[in-house]
Structure 1
Amino acid sequence: MSPTFDHVTLGQRVLFGSGRAADNLAAEVTRLGARRIMVIASPSEVPVAQEVTKHIDGTLFHDDVAPHVPIAKAESARAAAAEHSIDLLVCVGGGSTTGLAKAVALTTGLPIVAVPTTYAGSEATNVWGLTEAARKTTGVDDRVLPVTVIYDAHLTLSLPVELSVASGLNGMAHCIDSMWAPRTDPINRALAAEGIRALAEGLPAIKNDPQNLRGREQTLYGAYLSAVAFASAGSGLHHKICHVLGGAYDLPHAQTHATVLPYVLAFNAPAAPEAEHRIAGAFGTDTAVAGLDALRVALDAPRALKNYGLDEAWIAEAVELILPFVPDSNPRPVTATDLEALLRAAHAGETPVL
């Protein structure tokens, strides 16, 4: 039977080139005709941001950034943008920095130029997230999609191997979740499969040699593909779990995704043979679970949520928080018992069970 689907490709300019970030940013500022620029970067990323923005005149540097975008941080940034009559947002950093820029764009409609320094992928999606009273809310709005993304692998060279691994596996989670997310289709599955292949090639190269620029370029490429696939396919079971855990218990974003991923894959794979076969093919292994497991062993990937701040006593509450957000389209029905078993195994770092 011929495939039938409805696919939307998001409109975005992507500039990719190692060592070219500052020049590419200056060219984009000129192209967009921006005159009052707000540069958003966390305190640790300010030196990188200063280098990237050396050819432009930034009106305001804003470094009040925190994971999961607390609503108070968003309101502060929005007020700063209004006070200085900002007409362009430039964010330099990881997912938290991009997330804050999106929070400003959500209410102001200001354009964003994103310059990622990690493999988070948020820069290529129209998904936003805000945390208030320990609950994370996410949504979709085209206003938050950066108009331009500037990728420069040189900017990731200082990212420690452990964070590179966790961030890259966050990208891998975007790819795998896209195989069975609510709006999945043949186009975003193809992008996700290529993303898996690129990440599986690039991350071990970084692990073996942190200064391997080719490995970092492949990983950036894979992270971009993962985000484009995710933006089209939507949030699957994996992301619903991780968004709740991150917002409710302030767990680190990338490490949480990296830890939970093998458990969701092992849970869903038997019920989604076509997706499982495609994932396995991208890894070049007999099964999807074997491919991800081999990669995680090679990378010495994060293994247990207890190592990242999740108290076992919180699991029962987490199950109740997650259950209402489980997508109806998940390949396998999800019960409270299933979620509890998955979270307990991920908390302890036990071997995922099919």
Structure 2
Amino acid sequence: MLDRFIYQGLPARVLFGRGTITKLSEEVERLGLTRMMVLSTPEQVALAERACELLGVRAVATFSGATMHTPIEVTVRALEAAKACMADGVVALGGGSTIGLGKAIALRTDLPQIVIPTTYAGSEMTPILGETQDDRKTTQRGPRIQPEVVIYDVDLTLTLPPVMSALSGFNAMAHAAEALYASDRNPVVSLMAEEGVRAIYEALPEVLLNPADPNARTTLLYGAWLSACCLGSTSMGLHHKLCHTLGGLFDLPHAQTHAILLPYALTYNAPAIPEALTRLGRAMDAECAIGALIHLEGACGIPLALRDIGMPEEGVERAVEEALANPYNNPRPIEPAPLREILSRAWAGSGV
């Protein structure tokens, strides 16, 4: 592994710190843009308005209809809005829903993107887009999808509720965990993945105890950034395949699905990934990485079963069929019986 590998750095400019949203106008000017469309979900309109104030005359429109799993019909409406205002770039503020919409617009128009995340989900650092249509979520990669600038502002995460912070943190941790056993992993990504997991695992209990602590939030956001870099630099396996499948079929909340499935996907792959589990255990200072994850999830008070977030029991069979129809590359072959077993356990929350 050390004597031959490929590492592809992603062409993104990153600003990290507190109060960095105030650099938004400077970054727009640096890119030579003059007509920005600001994207958000309906719940984050106030943040979009703040961005418009910072941009001044460079803000020509807002679109606040971003939706989970990036439905193509929403993208069509946003494209019409971008065309109507003659936007030459987009600013995406929020979590995966808004960031995904910005990517979907960029894929079709090649408009430059500036992303300001408010969660730990990590989509901002990847050239990956997942879109839904007709109950199916498909993913693709490409240079147009990769955002040009990412502004991490710790202050924007201070009001993210503790449980949502935990869910988003586990989402980020899943990116790093899967990168440790990806077929195209390399020593650089493995270092980032292990450090990302260490930072998230260390910070989450502190964030739960004191959500307004900027030091804990900084560590958590740092770990999420590293984990996102891992996701952008390696291929995805069973864990992400299952999350995409369940999200498309049943419209399950993204972060919750990641958090619930992570220990089950690791358990499925455990016989084939001893080195990855060793690294995860070292990052969490634990003999059993999967056990440490389950313990932390319980301490965070997050949902532990797919049935708790809206998946029907009969959906297990549909999910197995969908996952097998177009499987992602995975260290252990994806077979119906063991896959059905872990999904049934994840549905019931009965443990690994």
TM-score by length of structure 1 reads 0.96
What code does the residue aligned with 1:62 have? Answer: F
Whole-angstrom CA distance in 1 between matches of 2:188 and 2:270 = 20
Kept in 1, the 8 Å contact 2:179–2:234? The answer is: yes
Output aligned runs, 1:152-231, within 5 Å.
152-231=153-232
1:51 matched to 2:50? The reply is yes
1:120, 1:223 within 8 Å by CA — same for their partners in 2?
yes
Query: The residue matched to 2:295 in structure 1 has which SS?
Result: helix
**Is the Cα contact below 8 Å between 1:256 and 1:305 reproduced in 2?**
yes
The CA distance in 2 between the partners of 1:302 and 1:193, in whole Å, is 25
**Distance between the aligned counterparts of 1:47 and 1:319, measured in 2?**
41
1:334 aligns with 2:318: no
Structure 1: any 5+ residue segments left out of the alignment? none
2:10 is aligned with 1:10: yes
Asked if 1 retains the 8 angstrom alpha-carbon contact of 2:128 and 2:145, the reply is: yes
Report how many aligned residue pairs link the two structures. Answer: 350
Partner of 1:349: 349
1:131–1:137 Cα contact (<8 Å) kept:
yes
Looking at structure 2, the residues matched to 142 and 295 of structure 1 have their Cα atoms a distance apart, in angstroms, of 36
Give runs of aligned pairs for residues 281-320 of structure 1, distance below 5 A: 281-320=282-321
Give 1:2 deviation, angstroms: 4.6
Question: Which stretches of structure 1, 4 residues or longer, exceed 3 Å deviation after superposition?
Answer: none
CA distance in 1, matches of 2:2, 2:290: 29
Seq. identity, %? 43
1-side partners of 2:224 and 2:237: how far apart? Answer: 17
Compared CA separation, residues 221 and 53, structure 1 to 2 (3 A): farther
Q: Distance in 1 between matches of 2:312 and 2:167?
A: 20
1:79 Cα deviation after fit: 1.5
SS in 2 for 1:106: helix
| Displacement of 1:327 | 3.1
Q: Is the 8 A contact 2:48 2:62 kept in 1?
A: no
* Counterpart code for 1:261: L
Amino acid at match of 1:224: W
> Partners in 2 of 1:131 and 1:171 — Cα distance?
21
Which secondary structure does the structure 2 equivalent of 1:55 belong to?
helix
Q: Give the corresponding residue for 1:131.
A: 132
CA distance in 2, matches of 1:147, 1:2: 30
Contact 1:305–1:347 (CA under 8 A) maintained in structure 2: yes
2:73 is the alignment partner of 1:60: no
Deviation at 1:40, TM superposition (A): 0.1
Cα distance in 2 for partners of 1:273, 1:250 equals 33
1:41 match: 40
Segments of 5+ residues of structure 2 without an aligned counterpart are: none
CA distance in 1 between counterparts of 2:227 and 2:289 reads 17
**What is the CA–CA distance in structure 2 between the aligned matches of 1:337 and 1:276, rounded to whole Å?**
23
- The amino acid of 2:17's aligned partner reads G
Show the counterpart of 2:141.
Answer: 140
**Deviation, structure 1 residue 65:** 1.3
Matched letter for residue 81 of structure 1: A
Separation in 2, partners of 1:294, 1:128: 32
Displacement after TM superposition at 1:50 (Å): 2.1
Q: What's the CA shift for 1:289?
A: 1.3
* 1:85 is aligned to 2:67: no
Q: Distance in 2 between matches of 1:218 and 1:273?
A: 27
Residue pair 2:38, 2:51 contacting (<8 A) in 1 also? no
CA RMSD of aligned residues (A): 1.3
Q: Deviations over 1:328-349 (max 9, x none)?
A: 4x22222111111011000001
Structure 1 residue 272, shift from structure 2 partner: 1.2
> What amino acid is aligned across from residue 340 of structure 1 in structure 2?
R
What is the CA–CA distance in structure 2 between the aligned matches of 1:309 and 1:268, rounded to whole Å?
A: 25
Cα distance in 1 between the residues matched to 2:52 and 2:152: 14
| Alpha-carbon distance in structure 1 between the residues aligned to 2:283 and 2:333 | 26
Q: Give the equivalent residue in structure 2 for 1:249.
A: 250
**In 2, are the aligned partners of 1:7 and 1:185 still within 8 Å (CA)?**
yes
- State the alpha-carbon separation in 2 of the partners of residues 118 and 306 from structure 1: 24
Q: Which amino acid aligns with 1:275?
A: A
Distance, in Å, in 2 between the alignment partners of 1:12 and 1:209 is: 32
Distance in 2 of aligned mates of 1:300 and 1:249 = 23
Find the aligned partners of 1:186 and 1:298 in 2 and give their Cα distance.
32
Deviations 1:189-229 (A, max 9, x none): 11111110111111111111111111111111111111110
